Structure 1
């Protein structure tokens, strides 16, 4: 396994830490950890004969926090306070961890920074959870599992170590150089020059808490700010022209609730670099109904206020800074020129711009500003959004897109084809046999039906493992690279861990349902370089957020925005939607609009594949190819199952109708005159 580093933990959000924990053996609970034997962890500054206890105190504290969910941390904080005060929860005869000096702490930071996940696992395995520490006498409300020696240590020499500000400001390649230099550069024999700082571990700051709780995208934003959120002692250079860094305090992280951690991240907002200039505003086009232009303008002003400050206009009068820079601004008000409402005298298209800072660089807040409260008002619909490049850079977008998926599947031209494993109620073994048949026949992507989750008749882990193995066996026999995409419809705290478990089990992609688990969960996974698998978006539940339809309802989002632009912005590589002529009533124009949302220019974001489905039959393939063009991902389910009991023959028939030439893999021989694989 390729080695990884403390960078993984450094880059993770609290939810993403689950994936790191899932890759190692389960961590014992604090109550059960007493039974484990201590074994010393060597820190560069410590002697094994008399410093083992301090080493365990430091590493154990990291261990406890790293292994716990926010709920578990809350319980630990409560029990720590009770034990420190001599409450009932104090176990009889429980040993108390010794203190950890500043030098110990700095050494521990260095070891964690250099360690691979395997090494961290060993550290965790040799230490127990906190059991008897006392609250620090600094006025804190919580007892930390780690306390520092008092002022008696003031004369101790400070340990030279790569600082957290260095790590915070460095690119992944720079971090790799730091790791190779082994915290000390030339002193350890490395020819890589790494800056060192003097660490004073007694000082407290919340900087590391914010870093630890941030997603990779958040860290990228922090690095781009004009000032680091790391505090520098009085901002002065020392005699050796180095900043005196206030070392992060793990107690702050340990004693903070999730909402507190959010506040820690935003504490340095006053120094945050603005996302864009006044010209870099994003625009939302609303379709609305009003009897006259004056009424339309009044309604637009209500939208501008509602979507930002939620105050009446009298409290944010024209000429004030908030009114000019925060409240939305009407850019144009026109009559619709196309579409079903073009001839309605009461229909208006209003383009409203918002300053980039109102979204804060977060997808969740962007969607909130676009439509939040106004979504509950009648006769208003979001029909388009336009984001400047300065904002598009805040979102990773698709990791693969059209061209990346074609390279991965080794299909340079022609429509791609996909089917679904169904029905719910089959065992994992039965679903795996179906997956093998479709993969053997050459279906490019075999996804879970979106209703497959973690049901007792086909548990998630078991199903993923068996279906991925079945597809891999078929690929080995055909020479293709068919992808299996399990459905990641999971509770919030399991989304990331299930996705990484699928990758580790051999899945080649994942199916996500942003209408249920959220667009930002998909964005977080797409932004994770360690995941690096295609993501397919499924539209379940999004129908209640759609306008248009057979009654031309003016509400919700347009098809182009909700099923095209937003999934693409959030990192989907393909978006599934009901095609015209199926069982859901989408019109040809609405489906064409989704295709436009998948492919139109959006800064540097790659185009993604439209995946029309929803009751499509094999007989409709020719019409869909004509409407959507060559870059599409055809989704046929029930019709393919009913075509033939021989799934391999049915799959090849599907590919033939899609216009595919390579009906056999490079390791197969044609049996019926069809052309073999030519790549």
Structure 2
């Protein structure tokens, strides 16, 4: 394994792509816009970033982004840069500054996107990776095979602790495996975190005593570091089995401070992902972004869902789901469980299974469960039956002939 950090980019530039790539390498390592005293050949050999590969793939007539240099044409290219580990050591916050720092602002570029990252094994020694992942999530939820059928508390905000607990109890009786707070529900005066956690876990613990199944509830404990740690400790005391964190809200340093403290699976929510990714020629690809959060300790990672309510296309969703199951290293894979959500119903199960190729996931449906014409219990059953059909190689429509919950869902949502 190379002891250099590598990053792949998609660039768009009105200047010669080779010159643009060299500007990236210089800006993000030992160089600046003019030669400076002390930047000797020996120093550059030791510390400079290198352009490892460059492939021109096309050109466009208009720039994707404004504010930079202009030209008669704008060529697009795939570029790989590398940096010596000696520049920053195994540090995620400083890695982000290196591979995704000022280069987005360079005048040479009318488009620049970070596509992938490859890291030396020393990063695996420095960071925890997922402590539970797929295996631990299955153990704590009692779901040995197939997806975890999940949902989100809706309305997103507005319920108090007892209303949230009542809904959790209804869903538990309906056979749900997983429930999560909405990312908008935190610790407001209308629904304080501590009161919500106590009320919900009282209901879920009672259900577990009666049935032997403890529903996994991902409580949103996003906050400042001390708040997150204290809330985690309360959840542990109450017998909860999952904590949720909004990644972009707490940042890498905040998340790492929490993940190193946590004894619960961490449900990593990507709210805000659109501002990093929606522009085609600016930002991050999910593959690169999610690798760092997996390394930092995320056990579950949201990947959107097929035919979702947002702007992301299905091919991107599938690529994201596959990426979180791709090992970082053979001896430390850092694999996370993908979470499909956003406008999901039983209708998407067959295609999700076909395109992803496995059922090691959480399939979370809000309206797809709560709005089932025969009620939430039928909504839960419809998703489970849809996945049973998909995993058995039976068309959903054929399976629905003898499974009324699935039939109702296909008629209502198909």
Distance in 1 of aligned mates of 2:147 and 2:41? 54
Name 1:440's counterpart in structure 2. 173
Name 1:567's counterpart in structure 2. 293
Given that 2:186 and 2:221 are in contact with CA atoms closer than 8 Å, whether structure 1 keeps it comes out as yes
The change in CA–CA distance for 1:336 and 1:418 in structure 2 (over 3 A counts) is farther
After TM superposition, give the deviation of residue 615 of structure 1 in Å. 1.7
After TM superposition, give the deviation of residue 617 of structure 1 in Å. 2.4
Matches within 5 A, 1:148-159: none
Given that 2:6 and 2:118 are in contact with CA atoms closer than 8 Å, whether structure 1 keeps it comes out as yes
Name 2:285's counterpart in structure 1. 558
Q: Residues 273-311 of structure 1, C-alpha deviation per residue, up to 9 Å, x if partnerless?
A: xxxx9x40110001101346xx21222222223223463
Distance in 2 of aligned mates of 1:308 and 1:631? 40
Name 1:677's counterpart in structure 2. none
Name 2:131's counterpart in structure 1. 399
Name 2:380's counterpart in structure 1. 651
Gaps of 5+ in 2: 59-72, 391-401, 405-414
Distance in 2 of aligned mates of 1:503 and 1:336? 52
SS at 1:596 equivalent: helix
Distance in 2 of aligned mates of 1:633 and 1:376? 38
Gaps of 5+ in 1: 1-276, 338-343, 662-671, 675-679
After TM superposition, give the deviation of residue 345 of structure 1 in Å. 7.9
The change in CA–CA distance for 1:433 and 1:300 in structure 2 (over 3 A counts) is same
Distance in 1 of aligned mates of 2:212 and 2:251? 36
The change in CA–CA distance for 1:576 and 1:511 in structure 2 (over 3 A counts) is same
After TM superposition, give the deviation of residue 313 of structure 1 in Å. 5.0
Matches within 5 A, 1:273-352: 279-291=2-14, 295-309=16-30, 311-315=32-36, 319-336=40-57, 346-352=75-81
Number of aligned residue pairs: give it. 372
Distance in 2 of aligned mates of 1:569 and 1:419? 26
After TM superposition, give the deviation of residue 519 of structure 1 in Å. 2.7
- Whose strand fraction is larger, Structure 1's or Structure 2's? 2
After TM superposition, give the deviation of residue 540 of structure 1 in Å. 0.8
After TM superposition, give the deviation of residue 317 of structure 1 in Å. 7.6
Distance in 2 of aligned mates of 1:333 and 1:317? 29
Name 1:490's counterpart in structure 2. 223
**Residue 428 (str. 1) matches residue 161 (str. 2):** yes
SS at 1:360 equivalent: coil
Q: What TM-score results when the alignment is normalised by the length of structure 2? A: 0.82
Given that 1:285 and 1:351 are in contact with CA atoms closer than 8 Å, whether structure 2 keeps it comes out as yes
Distance in 2 of aligned mates of 1:375 and 1:645? 51
Name 1:590's counterpart in structure 2. 316
Distance in 2 of aligned mates of 1:482 and 1:595? 24
- Structure with higher Rg: it is 1
**Residue 457 (str. 1) matches residue 190 (str. 2):** yes
Name 2:370's counterpart in structure 1. 641
Q: What TM-score results when the alignment is normalised by the length of structure 1? A: 0.51
After TM superposition, give the deviation of residue 620 of structure 1 in Å. 1.8
Given that 1:465 and 1:506 are in contact with CA atoms closer than 8 Å, whether structure 2 keeps it comes out as no
After TM superposition, give the deviation of residue 639 of structure 1 in Å. 2.1
SS at 2:303 equivalent: strand
Q: Residues 140-194 of structure 1, C-alpha deviation per residue, up to 9 Å, x if partnerless?
A: xxxxxxxxxxxxxxxxxxxxxxxxxxxxxxxxxxxxxxxxxxxxxxxxxxxxxxx
Distance in 2 of aligned mates of 1:526 and 1:490? 13
Given that 1:579 and 1:591 are in contact with CA atoms closer than 8 Å, whether structure 2 keeps it comes out as yes
Given that 2:385 and 2:403 are in contact with CA atoms closer than 8 Å, whether structure 1 keeps it comes out as no
